[in-house]
Amino acid sequence: MQTRWRRRLLGLFTTYRWVDLDNSRADRRWWREPFGVFDGFAVGFIAAVALALLVRNGGLEPFVSDTWYHLAIAKQINVQDALPSWVDWDYAPVGRPHLYPPLIHVLLAGLARLTGSVLIAGRILAVLFLPASYLSCWFVARWIFGPRNALVGVLLLSLDVGHAVVELLYIPSCVVNILAPPLIITLLTRRTWASIVLLTLMLYAHIAIPYLVVLGLGLFGLKYPRYRGEVLKVIGVALLWASPWAVRTFMEREWVAGAAMNAGLPMGLLQRILSLQMFNLVLIGCGLWGIFRLRKSRAQEAIVRWMLLGMLPLLFSYGGRFTMHSAPFWAISASTVLVRLLPAWATWRRAAALTAATLLPSPALLPLTTTHAIVMLAVTGKPIMASDREKSEALLPDCDEAMRWVEQHTQPGDVV
């Protein structure tokens, strides 16, 4: 009898230790240096971007089908008081099952109830998401390297056109850009439940990209045994919490099988590699150089490399989305190279000049960009974009004709 109770007590103790949040040996500090001049410039820059977006709020209308689809889902949530299981406006008249994880849709629906319009709700997210992603990158870069790298990192991230587009479109995958960097801090400081919540939110935001975050964390855990248990706890519980929607998607897997199969074909792979819609030469070039400067002996630095490696399958399956969704980690890596522009003895004048330099044109390759993207990106004020004008202008007459038809057959405020 005593042996049986000993086993039970041992089992309870083991379970408690498995989910224990406290680890006295871990450095649990999340703010390591006093707020200084470089921090002031970084936060001021982010605030300026937020203010510019707020002023341009009326011009932040959705311009791609992805955003309209998600707005329509949010509208149906408020109409049905439930998540729609079938969408008849996509692939009409038959329709298709709704498989997108619901985080963004629920958020849009909630804001729409407060504001009275899903379009206004979308504008709110467009104003919030881009500054939030900059703040996320700055905070994590500061935690890893310090204020100088953090300022350089957020300025580099602001130069990336693709990242800005994703955030301004408030499509579900943009949540990964905001939440994945802080996951580094919560994981390495062993804030287990905070890590679980962040990863679960990502899994409920997008159907695929969060699993690449899981891949990056898993690779890091394999390489660094000290954090292996923490990684397993976070991934295991988060996947368990996200399993209801994952099971739903698996049951309807034939609706997504076509895209997955095409991604594996040789021509499909080539097409996606060549469809890097937005490729920032400075960010990726310095980021690749920075990868070799990240110290393997310091887990805080090494995890950035593994997160980028986890995102690599995106290059072969989702084309240009690779740089869009890995941009925060590229910026953190690239900051180790360009931080020499902001030495420790630098005055506030040097920091001001570097911040002002982000307003200068920066080189980017945008082979598939349309003129509509250029209009939207005017709000950030910086990049020069080399687009395929011939293809873009050839598409415009058909687009204009379709827009006129929609305007004639719909009422103001309808989500098509």
Q: Which residues contact 321 (CB under 8 A, 6 or more apart)?
A: 173, 209, 314
Question: Residues 159, 358: contact at Cβ < 8 Å?
Answer: yes
Lowest mean pLDDT among 113-122, 133-142, 196-205: 113-122
The share of the chain scoring above pLDDT 70, in percent, equals 71
Q: Please give the residue that has the higher pLDDT: either 296 or 132.
A: 132
3-state secondary structure 54-117: HHCHHHCCCCCHHHHHHHHHHHHHHHHCCCCCEECCCCCCCCEECCCCCHHHHHHHHHHHHHCC
* DSSP helix/strand/coil, 18: helix
Q: Is the pLDDT of residue 369 over 60?
A: no
- What is the spatial distance between Cα 149 and Cα 340, in angstroms, rounded to a whole number? 9
pTM over 0.85: no
* DSSP helix/strand/coil, 347: coil
Tokens of 87: 């969408």
Tokens of 57: 């709020």
Q: Is the pLDDT of residue 239 over 90?
A: yes
The share of the chain scoring above pLDDT 90, in percent, equals 31
What end-to-end distance do the CA atoms of the chain give, in Å? Answer: 69
Tokens of 233: 């706890």
pLDDT computed for residue 213 by the predictor? 95
**Pairing state of beta strands 86-87 and 364-365?**
unpaired
Q: What is the mean pLDDT of the chain?
A: 77
Entry field: residues in the chain = 416
3-state secondary structure 27-45: CCCCCCCCCCHHHHHHHHH
Q: Is the pLDDT of residue 356 over 80?
A: no
pLDDT computed for residue 243 by the predictor? 93
Give me the residue spans of the domains in the chain. Answer: 35-409
* DSSP helix/strand/coil, 411: coil
pLDDT tens across 305-324, in order? 999 999 988 877 766 677 88
Q: How sure is the predictor about 355, in pLDDT bands with cuts at 50, 70 and 90? A: confident
DSSP 8-state secondary structure symbol assigned to residue 280: E
Q: Please give the residue that has the higher pLDDT: either 180 or 314.
A: 180
- What is the spatial distance between Cα 252 and Cα 241, in angstroms, rounded to a whole number? 19
Lowest mean pLDDT among 31-40, 125-134, 232-241: 31-40
